[in-house]
Amino acid sequence: MRVCIVFLLFVARALSAGECSVTLDEALDSALCYNYTLETKRFMKCEGDARVQQAWSRFWPKIVWSGEYLHSPAASFSGTTIDSHSHTFEGRQIFFDSDAMYSLKIRRSELDSLRYEIEAFVDKLVFDVRSAYYLIVVSGANVRVQEENVRLLKEQASREMDRLRAGSSTQFIVDQATVAAANATTELHIARRNHKINQSSLAGLMGLDASQARCLEPVIKVIPLEQHELIANKIAFLDNDGDSDFLWDSEEREWWLETMYKGRSDLKAHKAQIASAEMGVHQQRSEYLPRVDGFARHLELSKDSFGASFFGGKTSYWETGVTFTWTLFDGFAREGRIREARMVRNGKVADCRQAVQAATLGLQDRFDDIEESLQAYQSARFAANIAESGVDRALKRHQHGAITPLEYRDSIYQLTDARQRELRAGYALLISYFALRRDTGLDRLEEEI
């Protein structure tokens, strides 16, 4: 609750002061407090808590009061109309009821499953917020790349216009440069629109409305790849001419696999569902056992009532006893319910095996994604560095007439394309790493530690 209040104050301050920066931690805190889907799932968990309490209530004594007032001429042997009244105060307590015991265990397993499902959704929500946050970082950087592209092309168009006035260029070349600058301006507007769309996506995850979406500008301007130890180590390994075939050794893969088995919440949810289905089988089998209840009852009768006459005029007395209920035969209905419960359990086991298989294969895909993203990022980073130095050389050669205006524009296009590829490759690498943490539940395990 404190985190929610702190972020609410942050939003109010940002909107009033015109500040438009948000950190990743603030975005995550807001999503965990105000995301509507997560709020719905939390209400479902509250329903599960209530069902557990209902199951517990079956073990508590039941106390019932009942009263009756009778006005009937048929109640008197003399034929006269009489009035009578009576009331009963009764308490019942379960001594042995296997159905109640297994119902409680089932409700507990269902509650565990709901809790693990919420944890799995939180892991997914954290991944989505991270993805949306860094996508805004990338789209903002892309806007700056497009702005630089427009600036370079407009400068070239201006130079060609000056050369046309000096008689060293042609109108055709000037028109080409002007069209290139106009096309780049269109791409700039598209980049700005995509940036706003990404802001709206993050606002939806954070539970904010449309008016607050434009207040979501990350405090960072570049993707912090080197801050994550695993990414930094893998980049250093490849920079030192390491073989990509040995990027993941067997011990590291085994560690991530064990982490997935311990930390992945959806697998825990499947195990809780199996436990609930197993308790369902035991619950149906328990119908072969008897139920034993104890009771104590106090009756109060009026003197004119039939009961008082039957018991020798006694108007108040106590009754105590034990109820023994045992179903000996019900037309094989119990056997059918047991067989049905077994099939439900077997289905849950099959679902769990399928989930484990999919998670194991998905973990291998995460390794491959990170490996490919690392190699793509290396290539894109190298190309961007070459393109940046190439533009400076191309400008000097163009000013000396060594290359044509079209060749200079090609170098600008190559720089823009290389920077965009570097941004996309860096984003893909970071998201692949976050996907690995999500699929293994590493964030949750680190919080528990």
Res 53 pLDDT > 80: yes
Nearest-angstrom CA–CA distance, 15 and 4: 17
Q: What is the mean pLDDT of residues 262-284?
A: 91
The pLDDT tens digits for 398-433 are 888 888 888 888 999 999 999 999 999 999 999 999
Does the pLDDT value for residue 67 go beyond 70?
Answer: yes
For residues 228-248, give the mean pLDDT: 80
Average pLDDT, the chain: 85
* Torsion, Cα of 418, 422, 428, 433 (10° steps): 160
Contact 21, 217 (CB under 8 A): yes
Q: Tell me the pTM.
A: 0.80
Which pLDDT value is given to residue 17? Answer: 45
| Structure confidence at residue 449 (pLDDT) | 43
Higher pLDDT, 200 or 69: 200
Angle between the 265-285 and 333-399 helix axes, to the nearest 10 degrees?
A: 170
What do you get for the CA distance between the two ends of the chain, in Å? 22
Beta-ladder partners of 84:
70
> Residue 209: pLDDT band by 50, 70, 90 thresholds?
confident
pLDDT digits (tens, 9 = 90+) for 329-347: 888 888 998 999 999 999 9
Task: State percent of the chain over pLDDT 90.
Answer: 44
Write the pLDDT tens digit of every residue in 124-148.
Answer: 999 999 999 999 999 999 999 999 9
One DSSP character per residue, 414-438 reads HHHHHHHHHHHHHHHHHHHHHHHHH
Give the pLDDT score at 207.
Answer: 85
Determine the average pLDDT of the residues in 263-291: 90
Per-residue pLDDT tens over the stretch 150-191: 999 999 899 889 988 988 888 998 999 999 999 999 999 999
Residue 75 has pLDDT above 60, yes or no: no
196 contacts 112 by C-beta, under 8 angstroms: no
Rg, the chain, Cα only: 37
Q: Are 117 and 399 in contact (CB under 8 A)?
A: no
Residue 321: phi and psi, rounded to 5, are 180, -175
Residue 322, SS3? strand
Domains and their CATH numbers in the chain: 2-58+97-290+326-448 (1.20.1600.10), 60-96+291-325 (2.20.200.10)
**What does the pLDDT average to over 61-83?**
69
pLDDT above 90: residue 50: yes
What pLDDT is recorded for position 121?
92
What's the rounded mean pLDDT across residues 358-366? 93
Whether 309 has a pLDDT exceeding 80, the answer reads: no
